[in-house]
């Protein structure tokens, strides 16, 4: 007995309650407001810093300004992605444009890596031939930059950082804050000792932080694009847990993926013992998924187990001998010892 028809009704029913947790409503407006304040602060200070960096001949200041430009771009991307993601699903985009936020996060990670590579090259070149640096001007500008970035980072931290999109913009600002701290330390060294190479050394330290943040963003966004399971969910353990529930004989074609950050979806084919209530089993499994894993986007096809799958209980039979689907995806989960 197939559960297709009831499955769709339940999806609507379940979705109205489960999807409420994903509603960003007023929070999305607040996020946009905080990001807008940070964008204004960064853009205004960046214009001043470019001029001062050129006058002071400081690569650290110029690199900070370049980084601030990517900060501004990352926030603009985040704001655009938020608006796209808020559009309702229609036409061929059955999930809407929610993954626009993941595209934004990946772009932020890539710009961090590319900018870091360019700054690393410039820093090494200046280590070999250090130019004269105006340490006093560099120090004053860096100190003001620290204040501006602390305020900007605080603004973005008030937004929803569970969004990989917002986290991308936050990482840009946070790395810029570290860059200004490094620049201030380097400027202090230049002023007190005249050691001009402190400027590119500070730049290299910041480059290392940029590479770390950029790699993290690309890795996390890449997992979502490749439809990997969320990092905090083990699909094998989840499948075994579902298969261990009363009346469940087997769970296969289990897929767990993220539509966007913080929004996980799951689908599976569940075989129920003869005489079992497919609808009740499906509802119980949905409750487990929602309560234990926070997964509310679920599509569970529940059917009574065919005779050939029941034969799995006979001595000498294997999972492959009794497969229900000709083209299975992933391991078969049963409440018995088995390999994954």
Is 110:222 a contact under the CB 8 Å cutoff? no
Report pLDDT digits (tens) over 21-33: 444 433 567 778 8
pLDDT for 203 equals: 81
Higher-confidence residue of 114 and 81: namely 114
Higher-confidence residue of 204 and 54: namely 204
pLDDT for 339 equals: 65
Phi, psi of 294 (to 5 degrees): 70, 25
Higher-confidence residue of 119 and 281: namely 281
Q: Pick the closest to residue 159 from 148, 177, 171, 176 (CA basis).
A: 171
pLDDT for 308 equals: 58
Hey, what are 102's tokens? 């993941």
Residue 318 in this model has a pLDDT that exceeds 50: no
Give me the chain's average pLDDT, please.
79
Residue 165 in this model has a pLDDT that exceeds 80: no
pLDDT for 16 equals: 38
pLDDT for 327 equals: 59
187 — pLDDT class (breaks 50, 70, 90): confident
Residue 273 in this model has a pLDDT that exceeds 50: yes
329 — pLDDT class (breaks 50, 70, 90): low
pLDDT for 340 equals: 60
222 — pLDDT class (breaks 50, 70, 90): very high
**pTM, two decimal places:** 0.70
Report pLDDT digits (tens) over 45-87: 887 877 777 777 766 677 677 777 777 887 887 888 888 877 8
282 — pLDDT class (breaks 50, 70, 90): very high
Range with the poorest average pLDDT among 47-61, 287-301, 305-319: 305-319
Range with the poorest average pLDDT among 83-92, 240-249, 278-287, 308-317: 308-317
Residue 44 in this model has a pLDDT that exceeds 80: yes
Residue 225 in this model has a pLDDT that exceeds 50: yes
Share of the chain above pLDDT 90, in %: 23
Share of the chain above pLDDT 70, in %: 81
Is 310:324 a contact under the CB 8 Å cutoff? no
């Amino acid at each position: 007995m197939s559960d297709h028809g009831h499955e769709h009704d339940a999806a609507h029913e379940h979705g109205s309650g489960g999807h409420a947790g994903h509603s960003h409503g007023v929070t999305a407006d607040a996020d946009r407001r905080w990001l807008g304040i940070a964008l204004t602060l960064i853009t205004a200070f960046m214009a001043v810093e470019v001029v001062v960096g050129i006058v002071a001949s400081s690569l650290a200041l110029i690199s900070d300004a370049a980084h601030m430009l990517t900060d501004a771009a990352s926030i603009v991307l985040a704001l655009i992605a938020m608006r796209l993601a808020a559009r309702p699903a229609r036409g061929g985009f059955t999930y809407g444009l929610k993954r626009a936020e993941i595209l934004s996060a990946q772009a932020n990670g890539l710009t961090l890596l590319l900018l870091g590579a360019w700054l690393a090259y410039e820093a090494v070149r200046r280590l070999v031939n250090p130019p004269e640096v105006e340490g006093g001007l560099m120090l004053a500008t860096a100190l003001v930059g620290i204040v501006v970035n602390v305020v900007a980072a605080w603004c973005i931290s008030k937004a929803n950082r569970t969004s990989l999109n917002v986290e991308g913009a936050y990482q840009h600002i946070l790395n810029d804050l570290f860059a200004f701290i490094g620049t201030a330390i380097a400027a202090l060294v230049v002023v007190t000792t005249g050691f001009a190479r402190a400027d590119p050394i500070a730049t290299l330290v910041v480059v290392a932080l940029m590479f770390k943040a950029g790699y993290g963003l690309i890795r996390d966004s890449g997992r979502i694009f490749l439809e990997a399971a969320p990092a905090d969910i083990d699909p094998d353990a989840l499948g075994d847990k579902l298969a261990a529930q009363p009346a469940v004989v087997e769970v296969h074609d289990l897929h767990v993926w993220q539509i966007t950050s913080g929004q996980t979806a799951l689908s599976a084919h569940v075989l129920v013992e003869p005489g079992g209530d497919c609808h009740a089993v499906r509802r119980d499994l949905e409750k487990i998924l929602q309560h234990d894993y926070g997964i509310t986007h679920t599509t569970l096809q529940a059917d009574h187990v065919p005779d050939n799958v029941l034969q799995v209980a006979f001595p000498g039979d294997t999972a492959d001998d009794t497969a229900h689907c000709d083209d299975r995806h992933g391991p078969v989960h049963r409440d018995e010892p088995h390999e994954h």
